[in-house]
Structure 1
Amino acid sequence: MTTSADKTSLTYRDAGVDMEAGDALVEQIKPFAKRTMRPEVMGGIGGFGSLFAMPKKFKEPVLVSGTDGVGTKLKLAFQLNKHDTVGIDLVAMSVNDILVQGAEPLFFLDYFACGKLEVGTAAAVIKGIALGCEESGCALVGGETAEMPGMYPAGEYDLAGFAVGCVDKANIIDGSTIQAGDVVLGLASSGAHSNGYSLIRKLIEKSGIDMESDFHGKPFKDVVMAPTKLYVKSILKLLETLPVKGMAHITGGGITENVPRVLPAGMTAEVQAASWTLPPLFQWLQAQGNIEPLEMYRTFNCGIGMAVIVAAEHAEQAHAVLAGAGETVYRIGHIRAQQPGEAPTVVV
Structure 2
Amino acid sequence: MAIVSSDHHGPLINVGMWILLVPMGLCVLVKIYTKWEMVNRLQLDDFLLIFAMLAAVGQIVATSAQVEYGLGQNQTSLSYKQVEQFFLAQYVGQIMYILAIFIAKLVGLYFFLCLTAHDIRRRFVQGAMIFVGIWLFVSMFVVGLQCQTPKPWISESNHCINQRVFWVVFAVIDGLTQILVGLLPIYLLQGLNMHTSKKMFSMLSFSPNLITLSLIVLRLKYLYTSFHSQNYTWDSFNLALVTNIHASTSIIAASIPFTKLFIDSLVLSPHIVTDGTRGVVSSARPTQRGSVVSTPKPRRSPEDQVKWPGSNLIEHVTAVTSIKADSGWEELQEYNGSNRDKGSEERIVIRQTTSTTVTFT
Output the TM-score relative to the length of structure 1.
0.27
* Greater strand fraction, Structure 1 or Structure 2: 1
Q: Radius of gyration: which is bigger?
A: 2
Output the TM-score relative to the length of structure 2.
0.27
